[in-house]
Amino acid sequence: MDDVEKIRNEVSIVDTISEYTKLKKTGSSWTGLCPFHNDKNPSLSVSEDKGLYNCFACGASGDIFKFVQEKLNLDFSEALHYLADKHNIQLTGRREKSKKPYFEILENLNSWLVKIFQESDYGKPFRKYMNERGFDQQWCKEYGIGVFPPQGQLLKSYILKKTNLEREIFLEIGLISKAKNNWEPLAGRISFPIRDNIGRIRGFSARVLSDKNKKIAKYKNSMESEIFKKSQLLYNWDNAKKSKGPLILCEGQSDVLRFEKEGIKGAVASMGTAFSEDHAYMVKRVKDKAIVVMDGDDKGLIAASKAIGRFLKAGIEPLIVIPPEKKDPDEWLKEEGKKGWESAAKQDALEFYLNQIIQEENNLKTEISKQRAIEKIKPLIKDMDQSVSKQQIIDRISQKFMLPKHLVTTELETSSIKNENNQKTTKNKFLIEEEELFRYLFKNPTKWKIISGIFKKYKINEFESKKIKNIYFIMNTTNSAEPKSIMEQFEGEERSFIAESLISEREATLEDVEEVIKTIILKNLKEERRVISMSAKKDRLEKINQINKKINNISQEGVPGWNEL
């Protein structure tokens, strides 16, 4: 038994999911509120026997590993080791090695950096700087704030005393650069540990003591690596995700610390990069609302506008707070405190977002500028989470851009299906039948060998449903209908469909499945006949007669080879 099966067999998926939402036994399954969206009615179904979960509202689905990956923002290997550590399961080590040594090494390094800040003469000006901003030594210690020593000292005083493995890791994560003669890019800066959502240090963000020299970057971060990906990490996320209120998105670490100092929970900051779509969807797993707080200068307003767009696209309801007189949030909150925050105007972020676009496009004085403005909004509308009302946004765009609603709708949704009314009934019928066929195969994977032979004989490789096409491609490539291995190949609706198929107590009979396959074969033969009838080949009539014969035989006698099932 490999490590994956060992954990699947020994760790209860019901117990694991119950840590995040209350589950109730319903028949052979368990149901509860889905922890991945703002669920009002129990939409989550969990099957202990099958080791799977599926939300019928938002589509979240998978096995115990997928749940842990999604909930804790881990990759598969990390989820495997997390579950093994949590349940004291010894792994064989045949899979990818654990990243645990990285986290231990970074934790030890951070303790050393904190000690420099707290106790050394070198740390004195850094302590003074933080104290003047209202953060005393004890506060800094609680948040793991340290100091990187002067250039060359990290290597000399710390790294050279470590093992070869540790030295390799320091090189890998970019704390020293071999290519630049052991250059230390974060030397002489205040250090902020960047933790993942379960509190493990992944890297550092580091700030200069004085930002008077505009040629030097105010903030620098650990180099991008396997364990440090800026687009997937937020400063203070491990604390903010536990808060009850909305997420508060700030520009820098100092702003986040100020919110914490004033007793305002939920603040995070991205690291020198724009707030990404990955960030937004990470937040969406635990928060439905967000407040964007950026500096009041032009750069801050542009960053705020981009973040708002990403929140809206992910289905998060955003508001925005702009500090007065172009102050940064740290300075403003230090003066006004928690009362100032509570009384501050939380503006409608969509209104702000649209106003920014209007300003960018010369106040929409021409038809071309209006067209360009709508083009900028298209990515926001496309694939938008349905928890945010598209119609509400279209109404606002119509009002702000002074355009008729029908015109805005047409421009934003140009990719709508043509001739939908004429095709819908027939297409839905085929979609339903295809799904029933594959549901049957997932519950009866041993039937795949014979059914796949029938598919090949009649050249069945096209399906109405895109997800069924994708699933069939994997099944055909691997020559297997084993559902759990196929699930691992997918995200999104394919994975959700497979999980729902396994959890569902509804199951088609063998007779139903034969009827579906017969319908697909006849449909394909009729299409082949139509194509041949339009050709100019001499043997056209002969081929049509052969196809007609096949159609009659299958219609009257059923699918050839079906009795073997």
Asked whether residue 68 is domain-assigned, the answer is: yes
Report pLDDT digits (tens) over 27-53. 888 999 999 887 888 989 999 888 899
Question: How far from 94 is each of 69, 169, 239, 264, 487, CA to CA, in Å?
Answer: 20, 21, 34, 45, 22
Query: Parallel, antiparallel, or unpaired for β 219-221 and 201-207?
Result: antiparallel
Asked whether residue 519 is domain-assigned, the answer is: yes
The pLDDT value recorded for residue 93 is: 61
Asked whether residue 168 is domain-assigned, the answer is: yes
All residues at 6 or more sequence positions from 429 whose CB lies less than 8 Å from its CB, including other chains: none
The pLDDT value recorded for residue 98 is: 59
Asked whether residue 417 is domain-assigned, the answer is: no
The pLDDT value recorded for residue 389 is: 60
SS3 54: strand
Q: Which of 194, 228, 262 is the last residue of a domain?
A: 228
Asked whether residue 60 is domain-assigned, the answer is: yes
Looking at the fold, whether 370 and 437 belong to one and the same domain comes out as no
Q: Which domain holds residue 297?
A: 237-352
The pLDDT value recorded for residue 429 is: 66
Report whether pLDDT(260) > 60: yes
Report whether pLDDT(421) > 50: no
Q: What is the CATH number of the domain that holds 21?
A: 3.90.580.10
Report pLDDT digits (tens) over 460-482. 877 878 888 889 888 988 888 89
Looking at the fold, whether 118 and 151 belong to one and the same domain comes out as yes
Q: How many CA atoms lie within 13 A of 123 on its CB side?
A: 21
Tokens 């073997």: give the residue: 564
Looking at the fold, whether 64 and 155 belong to one and the same domain comes out as no
Tokens of 534: 């339009």
| Predicted TM-score of the model (pTM) | 0.63
Question: How far from 408 is each of 5, 366, 372, 401, CA to CA, in Å?
Answer: 52, 16, 12, 9
The pLDDT value recorded for residue 97 is: 55
Looking at the fold, whether 450 and 558 belong to one and the same domain comes out as yes
The pLDDT value recorded for residue 399 is: 87
Q: What percent of the chain has pLDDT over 90?
A: 26
The pLDDT value recorded for residue 18 is: 94
**Which of 203-207, 219-223, 393-397 shows the lowest per-residue confidence on average (mean pLDDT)?**
393-397
Burial 243-271 (b: 16+ CB within 10 A, else e): eeebbbbbbbbbbbbbbbbbebebbbbbb
Looking at the fold, whether 386 and 429 belong to one and the same domain comes out as no
Looking at the fold, whether 436 and 528 belong to one and the same domain comes out as yes
Q: Whole-angstrom Cα distance, residue 498 to residue 272?
A: 40
Asked whether residue 94 is domain-assigned, the answer is: no
Asked whether residue 420 is domain-assigned, the answer is: no
Looking at the fold, whether 479 and 504 belong to one and the same domain comes out as yes
Report pLDDT digits (tens) over 310-342. 898 888 889 999 888 778 899 999 999 999 999
Q: Which of 180, 200, 228 is the last residue of a domain?
A: 228
Residue 261 pLDDT class (50, 70, 90 cuts): very high
Q: Which amino acid is at 336?
A: E
Mean model confidence pLDDT for the chain: 84
Looking at the fold, whether 345 and 251 belong to one and the same domain comes out as yes
Asked whether residue 430 is domain-assigned, the answer is: yes
Q: Specify the number of domains making up the chain.
A: 5
| Mean per-residue pLDDT, 280-291 | 87
Report whether pLDDT(409) > 60: yes
In 251-373, the DSSP E strands lie at: 267-269, 289-293, 317-321, 347-348
The pLDDT value recorded for residue 422 is: 41
Looking at the fold, whether 458 and 522 belong to one and the same domain comes out as yes
Among candidates 479, 485, 487, which has minimal Cα distance to 446? 479
Looking at the fold, whether 375 and 321 belong to one and the same domain comes out as no
Looking at the fold, whether 119 and 52 belong to one and the same domain comes out as no
Name the region of 459 (left: φ>0; alpha: ψ -120 to 50; beta: rest).
left
The pLDDT value recorded for residue 94 is: 47
Tokens of 411: 């421009």
The pLDDT value recorded for residue 293 is: 93
Query: Parallel, antiparallel, or unpaired for β 201-207 and 190-195?
Result: antiparallel
Looking at the fold, whether 269 and 328 belong to one and the same domain comes out as yes
Report whether pLDDT(423) > 80: no
Q: Whole-angstrom Cα distance, residue 383 to residue 390?
A: 10
Among candidates 11, 177, 1, which has minimal Cα distance to 79? 11
Output the CA torsion sign for 452, 455, 459, 460: negative
Q: Which of 228, 249, 268 is the last residue of a domain?
A: 228
